[in-house]
Structure 1
Amino acid sequence: MLLNNPADLLRLLAIALLVYPALVAMLRISGKRTLSKLNAFDFVVTVALGSTLATILLSRDVSVVEGILALALLVALQYAVALLAVRWPPSQRLLKARPTVLLRDGRLRLDTMLATRVTESEIRQAARSHGAGDLNDIAAVVLETDGNLSVITQSRIGDGSCLADVRDEGR
């Protein structure tokens, strides 16, 4: 039960020694953006890369060449989509959600919170994590495209230019 076949360990070792360096090389060539978590699409690609690597390592049905090709295809598609988003800005509307204001000037945006499925408790937690003790001291809480909550205090809002691309349905 602990070890079905010692040859399986050698197979796993051999495949890992071939596939892992290939994946590292692809990621280095494609740049930092490939493994970023800037939005949900980027996160899904990262998970897909991990899942594909696990399948290559553990499945006898996938050859090393097929596995490396699958990894290369995921990396190339991620690179192409990121390039499209940079070169043709209208594509961003299809590829990623806009950040959304959930709290503005100490007031919760309940309709927006309901639509984005974020609770008041989660907003309070983000405020506490940022060191705020009073929601009235907060200029904005933003649900970012990667699912994180950004907190901007009244003392740090400045001219508010960092909110230029944020969906603010309460204004």
Structure 2
Amino acid sequence: MFFLSWDSIVRLLIVGVLAYIGLVFLLRISGKRTLSKLNAFDLVITVSIGSTLATILLNKKISLPEGILAFFILIGLQYVITLCSVKSKKFSKLIKSEPVILYEQGNFIDHALQAERVLKEEILQAARSNGLSTMKQVKAVVLETDGSLSLIKSTESEFSDTLGNVKCTRVNKRE
């Protein structure tokens, strides 16, 4: 089946352009959060939006208004959930992970590495990516809520303000 009809091509062209315009408009009014670095919740919304766009384009049984409504529902739910997470710390903890210290002051925190399924090699790679030649230059490594690794260099102040909200797992001698 190489070519069915010009009607399907014209429909795809018109619906594709209009769905794209509708999606861009809804994303624009929903704010930067929808397009930010992704935590698990944001990833689900992003994948759902992509799947919805594909369905609108390829399924003739889905009308353009139905597709735009599906976009509106997904983006609206994302807006409500993030608004609730900003207003309630309990709700925020329910839907988002917390940042975790994986390396601190010369010590890998093995139980945190295992719990978060991060390899020591990934931390070393993050140090190299930040232009560091030795881990002695690193005060701490934090696994952020979006899955990225943040490095705090040892030349920074003893207790940096950026570590204030990080789940602090101190290294004990028995570990």
Tell me which interval the TM-score lies in, with the shorter structure as reference length.
Answer: over 0.9
2:77 equivalent to 1:83: no
Say whether 1:56 aligns with 2:64. Answer: no
Structure 1: tracts of 5 or more residues without a match: none
- The runs of at least 4 consecutive aligned structure 1 residues that moved more than 4 Å come to none
In the TM superposition, 1:19-98 aligns within 5 A as 19-98=19-98
- Check whether the contact 1:36–1:43 (CA below 8 A) recurs between aligned residues: no
Aligned-pair CA distance for 1:58 = 1.2
d(CA) in 1 for partners of 2:108, 2:136: 10
CA RMSD in angstroms comes to 1.5
Give the drift of 1:30: 1.3
SS of the counterpart of 2:155? helix
**Percent of aligned positions with the same letter in both sequences?**
45
Query: In 1, Cα distance between the equivalents of 2:9 and 2:41?
Result: 34
TM-score, scaled relative to structure 1: 0.93
Q: Number of residue pairs matched?
A: 171
Distance in 2 (CA, whole Å) between partners of 1:156 and 1:60 is 58
SS in 2 for 1:60: coil
Deviations 1:101-136 (A, max 9, x none): 110012111111111110011111001001111112
Give the gaps of 5 or more residues in structure 2. none
Preserved CA contact (<8 Å) 1:105 1:137? no
Deviations 1:80-107 (A, max 9, x none): 0111111222211101000011100121
TM-score, length-normalised on structure 2? 0.91
Higher mean C-alpha displacement, 81-90 vs 137-146: 81-90
